[in-house]
Amino acid sequence: MAITALLAMTAGRAAAQTTDGAVITVSDMTIEPGKEATVDINYSLTDGKQYVGFRFQVELPEGLTFVEDPENEGNPWYDDTLTSIEKLNITATANGAFAATPRTAKSTISGTQGVLMRVKVKAAENLAKGTTLTVKLTDVSVNHRDENYNVSKTTLPDVAFSVTVALPDVGPKGDVNGDSKVNVGDIMAVINVMAGLGGNNAKGDVNGDGKVNVGDIMAVINIMAGK
């Protein structure tokens, strides 16, 4: 039976899917210039077939690079400990090609879902705030076998996962509520953080002492006063 490739976009998540029930998804993410972020590559196998492998290429646009594996120079870092699939062997190459296969000949990947692997990327220092980039997974293929151990490989034709990397627009110092202004609303935002009513703890620490307290309220007032 032929496997048809589909491209789906739902709730900030891009997905490549086969009609037989194999799905790989990647969610949208945010990253700041000069910083690192992780990308979770998720899988779902719902039809009970005996799947024996995934392959795909992670393509990064200009401005993003892979974080290198310190134990495997030149190759991307990845974390495969998050998967519930036992005895899974993952290989990676310097250009971002990944393969995930069982370690033994008779093992299969079936009826499971979760994070297949996690990779790290780093944004260039000169990326402008608010820039949107696209990370793609291309050359995606799945392998499955029949009861006689005959393996069939299906390549998903010209289908890529797209992940939008939104670089946050960081407001001025003291802009605790994120409206790009510093006013009494930010004082209330600090109070909300102090009271445990929500808000961004990192932004609430206006004076940079590692705590959110009355000192940060005074810091916002001083900024408002131009001090």
User: What does the pLDDT look like over 2-23, one tens digit per residue?
Assistant: 222 232 333 345 555 555 667 7
Domain architecture of the chain: domains with CATH: 5-166 (2.60.40.680), 184-224 (no CATH)
User: What does the pLDDT look like over 65-107, one tens digit per residue?
Assistant: 999 988 888 888 888 776 656 556 777 887 788 887 766 666 7
The first and second tokens of residue 128, run together, are 């402008």
**65-83 burial, b if ≥16 CB within 10 A, otherwise e?**
ebeebeeeeebbbbebeeb
Strands 29-30 and 161-166 come out as parallel
Q: Which residue in 223, 167, 177 sits closest to 203, CA to CA?
A: 177
DSSP assignment of 68-108: BPTTSTTSB-EE-TT---TTEEEEE-TTSEEEEEESSTT--
Angle at 45 between CA 42 and CA 49, to 5 degrees: 150
The first and second tokens of residue 124, run together, are 């260039």
Mean predicted lDDT score pLDDT of the chain: 75
pLDDT at 88: 65
Q: Which residue in 126, 114, 122 sits closest to 88, CA to CA?
A: 114
pLDDT at 195: 77
**177-197 burial, b if ≥16 CB within 10 A, otherwise e?**
bbeeebeeebbbbbbbbbeee
Cβ-contact 43, 88 below 8 angstroms:
no
Q: How far apart are CA 203 and CA 80, in angstroms?
A: 33
Rounded percentage of the chain residues whose pLDDT exceeds 90: 9
Dihedral-angle region of residue 97 (phi above 0 means left; psi in -120 to 50 means alpha; beta otherwise): beta
pLDDT at 214: 93
Phi, psi of 166 (to 5 degrees): -95, 120
